[in-house]
Amino acid sequence: MSARTWNGSYSESTHPPRPSRRFYQPPQTRNPVSDAFYDSVERFGRSTRGGGARGRGGRGGGRGRGLGRPMNPVFNDPDPFWDADDLGEEEPAEPNGKAYDDVPVEATGKDVPEPVTSFSDLDISEALRLNITRCKYAKPTPIQRYAIPVAMTGRDVMACAQTGSGKTAAFCFPIINGILTNPHSRSPNGAFDGRRGYPNSRAASPLALILAPTRELSCQIHEEANKFSRETGLKIVVAYGGAPMSQQLRNLERGVDILVATPGRLVDMMERSRVSLRGVKYLALDEADRMLDMGFERQVRTILEDMPPPGKRQTMLFSATFPAEIQGLASEFLSNYIFLSAGKVGSSTDRIDQKVELVEDPGKRDFLRKLLQEQAANGSDGKRLTLVFVETKRGADALEHWLMRMGFKAVAIHGDKEQMERERALKSFKCGRTPILVATDVASRGLDIPNVSHVINFDLPRNIEHYVHRIGRTGRAGKSGLATAFFTAKNAPIAKDLVDLMKGANQEIPPWLNGYAEENPYGGDGHYRRSNGYRNNNYSGGGGYGGGYGNGGGGAAPSYYDDYPAAANGGSDNNFTYGASFDGGYYPPPPPPAAENYGFEQLSIGTDDWA
């Protein structure tokens, strides 16, 4: 390769030629990948994003709520290259198989393969078997006993199991083993771009796709998949919103065997012809009910249209709940599938001790303070973590600051936090430096955080499914846990569902809660109320991500799903303009109902004053 100099002569370039990969090379024939390949370089500090994650609106300059909030002194280290690994070692989470022995599994379908009782019974590659041992997986959980043998035969799977039951490994093991033992050929001229009808050499073409609804869950799956595929040569890439797309595209250009992605970011990459799914042989949807129920159905269908039809690919759907209306939609994606149900569908585990406390709204904070003080007095702090759920993002920030003033080491996580802030907060919480995590529902689904001993519902959710997923953050991998709920008069609609759930888990029910249940016999409000397929967001502002990189406009992402479909973030991301379906049609919401409890003023509902 030569380069033109200033005087018109040519000289040999010092830059190495760009590597090309015209022919697909099976993973087992590649050089083993060192552990350093998986280490991510993290740079911390304030984001240079022009506008906030949610703000006042205006073209490209919305003021993000919370940009001026004081930094948490516990985990916001002044060193911009602070490393969470310095905080201490994280205890390995070894699944407790004995606690699952009495969990029944129901398998429905034709010719169901026999379950396995040990990982040694599986016909898998030696590299995967070694990695299973390294991860200290001694005995498969009930859902793994059935799902892994079914998936390894190539059958489609629709599985429902309690939270913390090992669903991630149940679909990762068959995918990794399938790629290692059955390498598939690809076109020598690059991935086939079906929309244009000619080979597209720039488009990445993965063999397996794993979809997750949130960026936290996608990062967690990516991390686990890397552990399971260590020293196999497999290339695993994660793509999610809320982070610059350029780096994710560079990772894809280096090659990808397994792509872990959120629907919104993946559709955006497909529209740019940077990802082709024509070669996908394995598809897994984690938390499938949430993706469909929260308005991702259109994006999921767009993704499925770009890959081989059912029967030509293997599809696996996993979640903790499968409501009836979701089952009908999910069945369209499967072919000759086997339905697996571990335990009671949509139930909580009896390993979680559930307590419900009747508390007045103004007294919630004092009750929480006493509860945490008693917990600290009993020595249940440090490595034993407490997760506190609140309803709103404002409430999460306010409660975090209040807890810090009260002397508790706490950190908050919600959808308005920058991705780096959220990752740092989770690392600080998981290693015990800040043993109290205040969260909205962004952390309630799918995340596997070891050693969470206590879940506190400071604000109860409006439907029982969210309650199940919240308390499922404790009692994971066969361990016991405690869940405490603060019940107020406004939570009466969920009382009956709560009583039914607690009865099914053999929990003690307070007499006053039975009284609320009798007065509200029809239960809660069911699923989310949606408009045009999207959840209404009471706290969205114009121009949230519009100010991100200067193109402006658009509204904030709905609720806590920051990687919502491409239109959700409005405006632009990384200099690429989204089609902003929320742009221009923003209607100011009423003041947040919990504002008084968190010490905020009731703001005017005009768009110019909403922040």
438, amino acid identity: V
Q: How confident is the model at residue 183 (pLDDT cuts 50, 70, 90)?
A: low
Going by CATH, does the domain composed of 347-519 fall within 3.30.70.100?
Answer: no
Backbone torsions φ then ψ of 410, nearest 5 degrees: -135, 160
Q: Is 137 within 8 Å of 291 (Cβ atoms)?
A: no
Predicted confidence at residue 282, as pLDDT, reads 96
Whether the model pTM is above 0.75: no
Please state whether beta strands 352-358 and 385-389 pair in parallel, antiparallel, or not at all (unpaired).
unpaired
Q: Is 423 within 8 Å of 219 (Cβ atoms)?
A: yes
Backbone torsions φ then ψ of 317, nearest 5 degrees: -115, 125
Q: Per-residue pLDDT tens for 453-471?
A: 999 999 999 888 888 888 8
Q: Is 341 within 8 Å of 359 (Cβ atoms)?
A: no
- CA nearest to 318, candidates 294, 291, 351: 291
Q: How confident is the model at residue 89 (pLDDT cuts 50, 70, 90)?
A: very low
Tell me the mean pLDDT in the region 54-81: 46
Q: Is 539 within 8 Å of 515 (Cβ atoms)?
A: no
**How far apart (Å, rounded) are the C-alpha atoms in residues 488 and 461?**
12
- Give the position of tokens 């050929």: 185
Helices (H), 28-165: 126-134, 142-152
**How far apart (Å, rounded) are the C-alpha atoms in residues 195 and 186?**
18
13, amino acid identity: S
Q: 540 pLDDT exceeds 50? A: no
Please give the helix or strand (H or E) that residue 356 lies within, else none.
Answer: strand 352-358
Domain with CATH 3.40.50.300 in the chain: 168-342, 347-519
Tell me the mean pLDDT in the region 493-512: 91
Predicted confidence at residue 334, as pLDDT, reads 87
Q: Is 556 within 8 Å of 289 (Cβ atoms)?
A: no
Q: 16 pLDDT exceeds 70? A: no
**How far apart (Å, rounded) are the C-alpha atoms in residues 78 and 283?**
42
Average pLDDT value over all residues in the chain = 72
- CA nearest to 124, candidates 140, 112, 142, 103: 140
**How far apart (Å, rounded) are the C-alpha atoms in residues 482 and 470?**
12
Other Cβ atoms within 10 Å of 599 Cβ, number: 12
- Distances in whole angstroms, Cα of residue 508 to Cα of each of 132, 260, 455, 497: 39, 41, 17, 15
Tell me the mean pLDDT in the region 136-149: 91
**How far apart (Å, rounded) are the C-alpha atoms in residues 282 and 187?**
18
Predicted confidence at residue 176, as pLDDT, reads 96
3-state secondary structure 92-103: CCCCCHHHHCCC
The pair of structure tokens assigned to 98 is: 């004995």
- CA nearest to 438, candidates 456, 421, 450, 453: 456
**How far apart (Å, rounded) are the C-alpha atoms in residues 176 and 401?**
44
Tell me the mean pLDDT in the region 516-535: 57
Q: Which residue has the higher pLDDT, 541 or 129?
A: 129
Q: Is 386 within 8 Å of 371 (Cβ atoms)?
A: no
Q: Is 346 within 8 Å of 320 (Cβ atoms)?
A: yes
Going by CATH, does the domain composed of 168-342 fall within 3.40.50.300?
Answer: yes
Q: Per-residue pLDDT tens for 391-420?
A: 999 999 999 999 999 999 999 998 788 878
Q: Is 56 within 8 Å of 607 (Cβ atoms)?
A: yes
